[in-house]
């Protein structure tokens, strides 16, 4: 079998950032898949499922309610390796195009207070696996260490 594209990225050289993972055409619409890499693969500890799950709920809520990107949001969810998230948007975008959106989203998460949206038995299949303080910590770390000083190296996959 042929390797899928995401397994051809050199994860030894990959650093936290925002990357265009792929672009697909569905009908006449381009769907851009972004790799929002929060941790340094194979170097830093991965995120635990509780903070990933909390970030997923908060980010999905933020994105679906965003005035400009709400209708363009196809999907937001975690990577199986627990080092980041995938964001799928309708439209043909470059990484730098969404830095303001991702910054706004992770600022929302890092400052969130109150009950996590959808964190109830009625709304979620694993609602007890949530950790808002750690989600806020991870979001703030990504904001300060990556998004606040993002470089070209953090916007284009390594060769």
pLDDT-derived band at 143, boundaries 50, 70, 90? very high
46-74 per-position pLDDT tens digit: 999 999 999 999 999 999 999 999 999 99
Which pLDDT value is given to residue 5?
78
For the entire predicted model, the pTM comes to: 0.95
Q: What is the largest CA-CA distance in the chain?
A: 47
**Residue 100 phi, psi (nearest 5):** -60, -40
Task: Render the burial of 79-118: b for 16+ CB within 10 Å, e for the rest.
Answer: beebbbbbbbbeeebebebbbebbbebbebbbebeeebbb
Of 2-6, 16-20, 118-122, the one with minimum mean pLDDT is 2-6
């Amino acid at each position: 079998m042929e390797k899928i594209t995401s397994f051809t990225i050199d994860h030894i050289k990959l650093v936290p950032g925002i990357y265009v993972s792929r672009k697909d055409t569905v009908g006449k619409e381009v769907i851009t898949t972004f790799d929002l890499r929060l941790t340094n693969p194979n170097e830093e500890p991965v995120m635990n499922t509780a903070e990933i799950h909390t970030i997923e709920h908060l980010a999905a809520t933020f994105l679906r309610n965003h005035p400009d990107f709400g209708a363009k949001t196809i999907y937001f969810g975690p990577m199986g390796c627990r080092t980041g998230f995938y964001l799928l948007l309708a439209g043909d975008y470059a990484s730098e195009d969404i830095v303001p959106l991702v910054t706004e989203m992770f600022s929302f998460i890092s400052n969130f207070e109150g009950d996590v949206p959808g964190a109830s038995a009625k709304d979620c299949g694993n609602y007890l696996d949530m950790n808002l303080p750690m989600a806020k910590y991870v979001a703030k770390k990504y904001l300060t260490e990556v998004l606040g000083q993002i470089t070209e190296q953090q916007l284009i996959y390594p060769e």
